[in-house]
């Protein structure tokens, strides 16, 4: 009886899937845009259970057709522009029985969609998967839309703008501590860990008024008895196993028979506990200030702004709270993630490129020397020096790093009012695509056409002369000028057993294997690098 019921259910499911696929293909074919039919797309459950299996099958059987790679995570990284070149188109569809995804490598079209408005004024909202992943601890400025988004932005944006000078100063402190450590310890490290620790210290101070002195990440995590070490460990485990948090709540993850799920559930619970403690600390401070008045030297950080706009502090005069407590915690998580994980990895990637291509390290160091001269870099300020550094080689290096290895590979949006079961997502890695023909500003009209584009770039920096218009990407520069003013980076030769060319090839091979956890990051150990003191008057 059970076997018959299972067979009947399976046949009904397959019949519905075939009918749904046929319906969606009837909508896609008339557009004249290339498409692939695939059985599933990397939504949360396939991401955990099916994608690792597909990756194993491709590896074991040596499968090379593009169709198979579309069933894996991070195909944009490993295939880059190959599929677009094969199709001679900068857009193509993948069609599943459940949804239609439009992959875009055209900057003009992506800008139009990401700007949020279509020709009829409708929003291109974020997809449900993005909202679930980034809204793990509560709604936040990244997951909400429309008027609610404007409310969240009103709370957070002014504070972030006012904190840039604090970010600058704390970057100086963190990098100074790194330099002191490297002077005393000839540690062979992978800078992804080092800079994740540094950027966490920066966002902790700038956003939450917490002091976290720089130590190697492994040292911080090992010291679990210390509250800071426990917090760092929670973050590290959470970000390593983040995909589990999307499919189930923390309490359920902790009882599932998978080690990764149990660790992810425990880390999520621990992180929520830490942020709740920070919330209560800040609330108590605000309530004290309400009674006695703020101290003259105090500044409003991100957490204080979030708490005040929740109206949860005693004595609050806020008539209409803009945030709930869960939204306070959600925004705190979002800014810790954005200011810690993605920034730290971007800086580390830039450093590995400078190790691989030391000629650009020389250019960078010469420029730093010309800007700072004999002055003490600890006396620099955001207001007087940011624009100067943002118009030179530091900006070019950071922009090229982001083009080659973006922090986020795919950005998705829903297109227009989405009638079930059709869901169109704009999803693509623009930073690896070359410039293409102008598609025009009318998305609906352009969807009926297809453009061809030139061949892709290679995974090698293609830096041009510095452009004074570059500034946004260089906000990831935190501390790099100060580090390279004092130090140079080079590959570890493993006691002379490894040549520079061997280390560079190994580094490029590892970069080709980068995988998305939350941001794009190494999937294995990177080649060892070491920091050495610059000789006076010598650039590298």
Buried b (16+ CB within 10 A) or exposed e, 116-152: bebeeeeebbbbebbbebbbbbbbbbbbbeeeebebb
Ranges of the chain whose pLDDT falls below 50:
118, 120-121, 417-426, 428-429, 431-460, 463-474, 538-540
369/378 Cα distance (integer angstroms): 14
**pLDDT for position 225:** 61
Return the bridge partners of 240, or none.
none
Give the pLDDT confidence of 234-254 residue by residue, as tens digits: 888 988 888 888 888 888 999
What's the CA gap between 310 and 329, in Å, rounded?
Answer: 11
Q: What CA–CA distances, in Å, run from 128 to 132, 202, 400, 414?
A: 6, 31, 31, 9
Q: Helix/strand/coil (H, E, C) string of 132-149?
A: HHHCCCCCCCCCCCHHHH
Rounded to the nearest angstrom, the gap between the alpha carbon of residue 415 and the centroid of all alpha carbons in its chain is 23
Residues with Cβ within 8 Å of 254's Cβ and at least 6 positions away in sequence, in order, are: 261, 262, 265, 266, 269
At a CB cut-off of 8 Å and minimum separation 6, what does 289 contact? Answer: 295, 298
Residue found by looking up tokens 């911080």 in the block? 220
What does the block give as tokens for 273?
A: 């506990």
Nearest CA to 238 among 255, 222, 262, 212? 262
Q: Identify the pLDDT of residue 366.
A: 94
Please report the DSSP string for 77-95 in residue order: HHHTTHHHHHHT-SEEEEE
Main-chain phi, psi angles of 532, to 5 degrees: -130, 150
* Residue ranges with strand state E in 2-90: 35-37
521, two tokens: 């990051």
Q: How far is CA 271 from CA 227, 263, 266, 403, in A?
A: 12, 12, 9, 32
Supply φ then ψ for residue 29, to 5 degrees. Answer: -55, -45
pLDDT tens per residue across span 65-87: 878 888 887 788 778 788 888 88
Find out whether 530 and 187 touch, Cβ atoms under 8 Å: yes
Closest CA to 233 of 271, 279, 191, 278: 271
* C-beta separation of 143 from 162 below 8 A: no
Structure tokens of 16? Answer: 């519905």
Cα–Cα distance, 56 to 68 (Å, whole number): 11
The confidence score (pLDDT) of residue 354 equals 94
**pLDDT score for 475:** 54
Best CA proximity match to 405, nearest among 74, 7, 167, 148: 74
Reading the block at residue 276, the tokens are 């709740």
Residue bearing tokens 């963190």 = 174
Domains assigned to the chain? 13-115 (no CATH), 146-410+486-533 (1.10.630.10)
pLDDT of residue 356: 94
Rounded Cα distance between 276 and 279, Å, is 5
Give residue 221's pLDDT. 81
CB atoms within 10 A of CB 72: 18
Q: 424 - beta bridge partners? A: 100
CA gap 423, 76 in Å, rounded = 20
Q: From the CB of residue 375, how many other CB atoms can be counted at a distance below 10 Å?
A: 9
Q: What is the pLDDT of residue 242?
A: 87
DSSP state of 74: T
Strand partners, 67: none
pLDDT given for residue 269 in this prediction: 92
- The pLDDT of residue 537: 53
Q: Rounded to the nearest 5 degrees, what angle is found at the Cα of 467, between the Cα atoms of 458 and 435?
A: 40
Contacts of 70 (CB under 8 A, 6+ apart): 36, 38, 83, 94
CA separation for the pair 215, 194 (Å, rounded): 8
């Amino acid at each position: 009886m059970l076997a018959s019921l299972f067979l009947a259910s399976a046949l009904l499911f397959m019949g519905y899937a075939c009918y749904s696929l046929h319906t969606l293909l009837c909508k896609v074919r008339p557009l004249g845009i290339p498409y692939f039919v695939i059985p599933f797309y990397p939504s949360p459950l396939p991401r955990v259970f099916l994608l690792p299996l597909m990756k194993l099958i491709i590896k074991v059987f040596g499968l090379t057709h593009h169709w198979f790679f579309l069933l894996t995570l991070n195909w944009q990284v490993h295939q880059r522009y190959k599929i677009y070149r094969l199709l001679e188109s900068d857009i193509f569809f993948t069609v599943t029985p459940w949804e239609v995804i439009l992959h875009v490598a055209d900057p003009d079209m992506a800008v139009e969609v990401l700007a949020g408005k279509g020709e009829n004024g409708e929003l291109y909202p974020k997809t449900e998967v993005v909202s679930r992943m980034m809204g793990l601890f509560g709604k936040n400025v990244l997951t909400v839309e429309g008027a609610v988004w404007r409310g969240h932005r009103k709370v957070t944006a002014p504070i972030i703008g006012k904190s840039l000078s604090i970010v600058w100063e704390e970057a100086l402190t963190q990098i100074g501590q790194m330099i002191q450590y490297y002077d005393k310890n000839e540690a062979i490290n992978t800078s992804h860990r080092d800079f994740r620790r540094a950027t966490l210290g920066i966002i902790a101070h700038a956003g939450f008024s917490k002091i976290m002195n720089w130590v190697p990440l492994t040292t911080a995590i090992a010291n679990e008895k210390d509250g800071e070490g426990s917090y760092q460990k929670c973050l590290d485990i959470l970000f390593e196993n983040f995909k589990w948090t999307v499919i189930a709540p923390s309490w359920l993850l902790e009882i599932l028979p998978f080690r990764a799920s149990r660790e992810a559930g425990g880390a999520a619970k621990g992180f929520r506990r830490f942020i709740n403690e920070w919330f209560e600390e800040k609330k108590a401070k605000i309530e004290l200030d309400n009674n006695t008045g703020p101290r003259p030297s105090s500044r409003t950080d991100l957490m204080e702004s979030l708490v005040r706009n929740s109206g949860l502090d005693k004595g609050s005069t806020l008539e209409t709270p803009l945030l709930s407590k869960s939204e306070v915690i959600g925004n705190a998580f979002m800014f810790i993630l954005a200011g810690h994980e993605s920034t730290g990895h971007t800086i580390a990637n830039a450093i590995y490129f400078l190790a691989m291509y030391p000629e650009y390290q020389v250019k960078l160091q010469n420029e730093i020397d010309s800007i700072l001269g004999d002055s003490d870099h600890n006396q620099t300020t955001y207001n007087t020096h940011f624009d100067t550094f943002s118009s030179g080689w530091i900006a070019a290096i950071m922009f090229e790093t982001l083009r080659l290895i973006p922090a986020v590979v795919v950005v998705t949006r829903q297109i227009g009012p989405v009638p079930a079961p059709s869901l169109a997502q704009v999803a693509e890695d623009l930073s690896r695509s070359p410039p293409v023909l102008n598609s025009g500003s009318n998305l609906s009209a352009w969807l009926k056409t297809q453009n061809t584009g030139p061949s892709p770039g290679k995974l090698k920096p293609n830096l041009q002369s510095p452009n004074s218009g570059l500034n946004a990407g260089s906000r990831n520069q935190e501390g790099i000028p100060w580090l390279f003013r004092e130090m140079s980076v080079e590959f570890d030769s493993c006691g002379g057993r490894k040549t520079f060319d061997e280390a560079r090839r190994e580094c490029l091979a590892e970069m080709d294997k980068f995988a998305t956890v939350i941001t794009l990051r190494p999937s294995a150990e990177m080649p060892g690098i070491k920091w050495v003191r610059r000789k006076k008057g010598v650039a590298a």
